[in-house]
């Protein structure tokens, strides 16, 4: 069992949290808006941390120091990148990923050593696979 920290409790973050918990992992999910945690199913046993995902104290509350992986999937590219860098560089989380909306930024972040998932590019690829 590994510990995972997720920043952003939108649809993607909640789905990740449920999937990881179902696989037997411990999960902490961070969001600035405590109302976002309503997306989590009843019985979710992970930690819910209200706060800014790149704030060190917030990350500590989420147990990022013991995390196997950190995923930043909030709606803000800059916040996701900053949080991912803090998790990796300050807390030495071995596996990090940031979701970004602007695929043009992906190359820049790759050069910084930050793995990204570009939602727009990924969605377009999935559609093309189904229509071609």
Put simply, whether the predicted model's pTM sits higher than 0.85 gets the answer yes
Q: What is the CATH number of the domain that holds 99?
A: 3.40.50.720
pLDDT value, residue 113? 87
**Partner residues linked to 30 by β-bridges:** 7, 49
Domain count, the chain: 1
Range of the domain at 63: 3-131
Of 22-36, 56-70, 103-117, the poorest mean pLDDT is in 103-117
Q: What is the pLDDT of residues 56-106, one digit of tens each?
A: 999 999 999 999 999 999 999 999 999 999 999 999 999 999 998 888 888
Of 21-25, 35-39, 98-102, 124-128, the poorest mean pLDDT is in 124-128
Mean pLDDT, all residues of the chain? 93
Q: Number of C-alpha atoms within 13 angstroms, CB side, residue 11?
A: 1
Name the residue among 56, 64, 67, 74 with its Cα closest to residue 10: 74
């Amino acid at each position: 069992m590994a510990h995972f920290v997720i920043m952003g409790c939108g649809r993607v973050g909640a789905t990740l949290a449920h999937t990881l918990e179902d696989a037997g992992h411990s999960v902490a999910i961070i969001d600035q808006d405590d109302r976002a945690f309503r997306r989590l199913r009843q019985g979710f046993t992970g930690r819910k941390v209200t706060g800014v995902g790149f704030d060190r104290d917030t990350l500590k509350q989420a147990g990022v120091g013991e995390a196997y992986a950190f995923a930043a999937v909030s709606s803000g590219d800059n916040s996701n990148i900053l949080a991912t860098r803090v998790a990796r560089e300050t807390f030495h989380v071995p596996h990090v990923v940031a979701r970004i909306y602007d695929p043009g930024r992906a190359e820049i972040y790759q050069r910084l050593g930050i793995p990204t998932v570009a939602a727009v590019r990924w969605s377009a690829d999935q559609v093309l696979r189904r229509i071609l």
